[in-house]
Amino acid sequence: MINKEKIELGDIQKTLLFPLWGRAFESKKRDPLLVDNTAVNIIESLDYDFNKFTQELSCISQLGWVVRSMLTDKIIKQFLTKHPNATIVDIGCGLDTTFERVDNTLIRWYDLDLPDTIELRKKFFKETERRKFIPSSFLDSEWLNKIIVDDNVLFVSAGVFYYFEEDQIKSFFKRIIQVFPGSEIVFDASSPFGIKMANKMVLKRGGMDERSFLKWGIKHAKDIESWDKKIIVMSEKPFFKSIQTRVKLKSRIQLFFSDTTKIQYLIHLKIKK
């Protein structure tokens, strides 16, 4: 009998299981949008009842986690064509497997998350000379001093920022502006309407309490430029536009609604030097 890893995480950290399951589920489809065998292996080794939230989960939620990875991977790869020796910081990495999909054998990579999540992560991933783990909240400032940059730095954050208040995100961005001018930031966001929908349709149905609910919603990425004159919005990408032809008509309507109401979209920022 195989011994499975038990999950002992805080309320917010437990949500890292959602995208992990989403990528693993996609990988087992006949014609997957994304293949993530590492996610499959981890899911099969965890002692956790995923039926708690998958029974009533919509296909949009599952596809959202997959498309987010696809869009983020694409931006990272484009960044690496300009900066092959770049530093990538994966904020709130959870059990993310982005490094395995985009590594060019040259990048310097940092996985950043809370201590209990990093301890869980160590059971499945190993640190190397180019890949380091940082057990810390991204809201702390000490970890910034540990980041080594040889070329340029890209901060990547998937499924993290909307769990916090806008003032907290704004303060974090201002620290990045001060310490890493010229850097870029990629993260997913949701409109205020999307925040309400996610809390009702995903987290609550998934058995999570209000401590795990989303908080920060933003309708227009351009609004972030008002936070500081050095912030430039490079792109604002709807999640599902690129996969409309890959799903059934009923799902297309749902995905179109999601894109038009900005329930999920990706923001790419650049910090002026």
CATH number at residue 214: 3.40.50.150
Q: Is the distance from CB of 154 to CB of 87 less than 8 angstroms?
A: yes
DSSP string, 173-196: HHHHHHH-TT-EEEEEE--HHHHH
Q: Is the distance from CB of 45 to CB of 236 less than 8 angstroms?
A: no
Burial environment of residue 126 by CB neighbours within 10 A (0 to 12, 13 to 18, 19 or more) = exposed
Q: Is the pLDDT assigned to residue 58 strictly greater than 80?
A: no
Q: In b/e form, how buried is each residue of 195-206, taking b as 16+ CB within 10 angstroms?
A: bebbbebbbbbb
Residue with the bigger pLDDT between 199 and 75: it is 75
Evaluate the CA torsion angle 152, 138, 67, 231 in order and state its sign. negative
Question: Which pLDDT score, from 0 to 100, does residue 202 have?
Answer: 56
Residue 3 half-sphere exposure toward CB, CA atoms < 13 A: 1
Q: How far apart are CA 84 and CA 81, in angstroms?
A: 6
Per the structure, the count of domains in the chain is 1
- Domain residues for the domain of 47 are 5-271
Average pLDDT over residues 204-219: 71
Residue with the bigger pLDDT between 204 and 187: it is 187
Q: Is the distance from CB of 65 to CB of 23 less than 8 angstroms?
A: yes
Confidence of residue 201 (pLDDT cuts 50, 70, 90): low
